[in-house]
Structure 1
Amino acid sequence: MFGIPRAPLLLGLAGLIPFVWGAISYLVPSLATWGAGLFGPRNVSLFVQLSYGTVILSFMSGVLWGFATKTRGAQAAVGYALATLPALWIFLAPATGPTSGLMNLIFGFIGVLILDFAFTAWGLTPVWWMRLRVLLTTIVVGSLSIGVLF
């Protein structure tokens, strides 16, 4: 699909499940009740989106760090510094409640996408990287937005 290798595409799409599940469990309360009974109350709606989103945003810092290893000198210093931003953002961003926590994640994922563009412009990513990242980020931000709206 879109020239993205099968393994990263399938794993990336599978990684969307908690985001989409969280959004669906906002929209269909009976599913949230069923899911809370089956998986525990921390694994539906707001809770799954906040906890899983924090993990994945930090994971994306690690991915960018890996790309930065392809650089040298001043570009390496900039690459490593930029790679730490998503994890630092979600750790330090003030969340005064559920909505602000979700908004912090939305801004974080949009920020990662901007960094993805920069790392791609530097020639550090695979040629298919941005097609995958735009697809996944669109679905993640859309899913998190449902939590903000409901």
Structure 2
Amino acid sequence: MDSVLRAVLIYLVLLVLFKIAGRRSLAELTTFDLVLLMVIGEATQQALLGNDFSLTNAVLVIVTLIVIDVGLSLLKLRSDGFSRLIDGGPTVIVEHGRLLRGRMRHARLVEADILEAARASQGLTSLEQIKFAVIERNGKISIIAYDEGAGP
């Protein structure tokens, strides 16, 4: 039973920490992020298993984590409020070529991030070509360009 309680506690702690870290940090892994995740994984393993490194205990912890994950995903399906609490929602960060700096600061984005997404997805080179930029729930930036000939 100790392993199940440890698994639940660690899952909830990691969920809160990654929620605080923000969506953008989960969108693309840098070398630093990969190393950090590996260290977190090792620390988590120690916290989850404690002194019991038996196969039975490891399977119990894994099953507990999967049950928690499936349970939360079912809750998110049934409750829009719970889904927004866990995953957040899309956030507009550029509106009609104008940066919404408060929202960008909250998402820890800079103008270069938005322009990079605009070039990669639409071939756009300036903010004036962007009708809307939205940071999605998964941390990716979606770009909506002005229609051809419509302009700002």
TM over 0.5: no
| Structure of higher CA gyration radius | 2
| Structure in which a larger fraction of residues adopt helix | 1
Larger relative contact order (Cα-Cα within 8 Å, sequence gap ≥ 6): 1
Superposition TM-score tier, normalisation by shorter sequence: under 0.3
